Amino acid sequence: MKAGIAVLEFLKNAGIDRVFGIPAGSVNVLFDGLNDYLEIRPIITKHEGAAGYMAAGYAKYSGGPAVAIGSSGPGAMNLVTPAANAMREQLPVLFLTGAVPSSTVGLNSSQELDAAPVFAPITKYSKRVERGEDLVKEVAKALEIAISGVPGPVHIAMPLDVQMAEIDPEIIPDAIRPVRVHTDFSAAGQAAREIKSRNTGLIFCGQGVRGMVPEVMRLSERLGWPVIATPVAKGLFKDTHPNFAGVYGFAGHESTGRLVQEGDFDTLLVLGSSLGETATSNYNAGLARDRFVIQFDRDETVFGRKYPVDLPVLGNLADTLPAVLKELNVLGAGEKSVKVPYNPERLKPGEDFTTKNVVLKLQQLLPEQTRYAVDITETEAYIIHDLNTLSPDAFDINVHFGAMGSGLSVGIAAKMAEPERPTVIITGDGCFHMHGMEILTAKEYGVPVLFTVMNNSRLGLVYHGHNLQFKRVHDTFSTQPMDFTKVAEGLGIPAARVESMEDLSGEIIGELMASDGPALLEIVLTDDNPPPMGDRVKFLAGFAE
């Protein structure tokens, strides 16, 4: 058996049901072998970058590891940004890249690149395999690392001759044994006692609370402490819960900002947030000032990174939060009421043709259980600030790494992972220019996702950022006007073009959502109102002073 085929055999046994990538000479052993492995479906994208983003999205919403494959040289380099993105989101993605034959290394061979050191800083593990008998063992080791401890991406570079080497199939690992994060139950118990002894506090939640929202709200109800979400945790908490106090950070709510910075709370309980820039309103010192900080996280490197932590609690929240709740029961903590200044009333769209009114009307017309995959565009600020969470896990918003076009591909993968859930991509013309041809990938694989393109013929976030910071904008930040509807029609994809609030109707949305493949809704709108970016506005404007 060829070593490359042994990799496919291992992936099949590990439960991998699809791989994302683009075939090329240096990975042809794998792609040819897929003819004999019908259990693994190749998803051929239009760009390796999209393959990496899709793999990350599939890992997030399928609950397991995912695989992206790229050629040597340029294919590998196109996967670098998605790998960095997956590292920031702690997603277990195995990146497999081809490499030139070992005998041609250093001879300026076509597409030669030593990719292992390139991937090393942005993955948990990166290695070039030199011998055929080592390939499948290294792939298994990498996948085990990807799902052990704090999940994250890994990378294996595979020279062509190594893939083609004949090996004994008996050496294929029969299983992987991931290592769980160490859980500090002692610290969790100490945290419960500390929480019980304190009068007031805020529960500050990041993306790490995904899957643990009921426990978070139970803790809030027990303590009478309000719950606050970071932008990436938008969509995990229903706005209508009386203890939910809104979003803090980039595009957060004004009332939430006042509650955090001016509220008389003696404790800050951080759950599943690394307290990065977008989560903390540009590292606002008022978040932790004069407060006892307790931070729960599975990644010990986040403790004390920017804010001092009085009590770090290491472990998966699935282990530590129930331990805290159990200890509070033992300590006799009863339920307490809480009042928050956040107004959860669902906003109604106005008549003016603005970005805010469009996103409000869109949500009004779409099914309540819709998941929104939101790209890096000025529209994301309105979604974070103005849309209500109507169903669990409703928004995928990655402002961590902020890769334009990533949300577009994640939306496709999310629909693949959960095909019964209505899924809508909200992207901009700038992001669509980068990765928009993935709509054809969605068509080829019959993925019924709605691409909503906010077309203002400019790089919107850049436009507003420069306006705030420099009081002027270079004219090259605007682009040649483009009719995306005609592009979609040229690809045989249903599309509609909206140029006014009256054009945006339930009939149009219903027809597009009824498609058995992707559809495109183009909204032609130039909105000169600054997006509701919260303290980011003051941050940018301050540079100009």
- pLDDT at position 185: 97
Identify whether the C-beta of residue 67 lies closer than 8 Å to the C-beta of residue 11. Answer: yes
User: Quick one: pLDDT at residue 532?
Assistant: 84
pLDDT confidence of residue 461: 66
Give the pLDDT confidence score for residue 544 in this predicted structure: 42
Q: What is the pLDDT of residue 535?
A: 62
pLDDT of the residue at 104: 76
Burial 372-390 (b: 16+ CB within 10 A, else e): bbbbbbbbbbbbbbbbebb
Q: Say what the pLDDT of residue 541 is.
A: 47
Write phi, then psi, for 229 (nearest 5 degrees): -110, 145
Strand order in the sheet with 450-455: 395-397, 371-374, 423-428, 450-455, 519-524, 495-498
Structure token digits, residue 194? 């500390």
Q: Phi/psi of residue 471, each to 5°?
A: 65, 20
Q: Any idea which architecture 185-331 has in CATH?
A: 3-Layer(aba) Sandwich (3.40)
Report the run of H or E that residue 269 belongs to, with start and end: strand 267-271
- pLDDT at site 529: 77
Enumerate long-range contacts of 299-303, CB under 8 Å, 24 or more apart.
Answer: 299/90, 299/150, 299/274, 302/274, 302/275
CATH topology of domain 355-543: Rossmann fold (3.40.50)
Closest by CA position to 313, among listed 185, 175, 426: 185
- CATH placement of domain 3-171: 3.40.50.970
Q: Would you state the structure tokens that stand for residue 162, as one six-digit string? A: 């190594």
Rg value, the chain, Cα: 24
Task: Tell the residue number behind the tokens 């990146």, with chain if given.
Answer: 95
- Supply the pLDDT for residue 457: 60
Per-residue pLDDT of the chain in tens (545 residues, 90 and over written 9): 999 999 999 999 999 999 999 999 999 999 999 999 999 999 999 999 999 999 999 999 999 999 999 999 999 999 999 999 999 999 999 999 999 988 777 777 777 799 999 999 999 999 999 999 999 999 999 999 999 999 999 999 999 999 999 999 999 998 899 999 999 999 999 999 999 999 899 999 999 999 999 999 999 999 999 999 999 999 999 999 999 999 999 999 999 999 999 999 999 999 999 999 999 999 999 999 999 999 999 999 999 999 999 999 999 999 999 999 999 999 887 778 887 888 878 899 999 999 999 999 999 999 999 999 999 888 999 999 999 999 999 999 988 788 888 999 999 999 999 999 999 999 998 889 999 999 999 999 999 999 999 997 656 566 657 767 787 877 767 678 889 999 999 999 999 999 999 999 999 999 999 999 999 999 999 877 787 876 655 544 444 44
CATH 3.40.50.970 domain residues, the chain = 3-171, 355-543
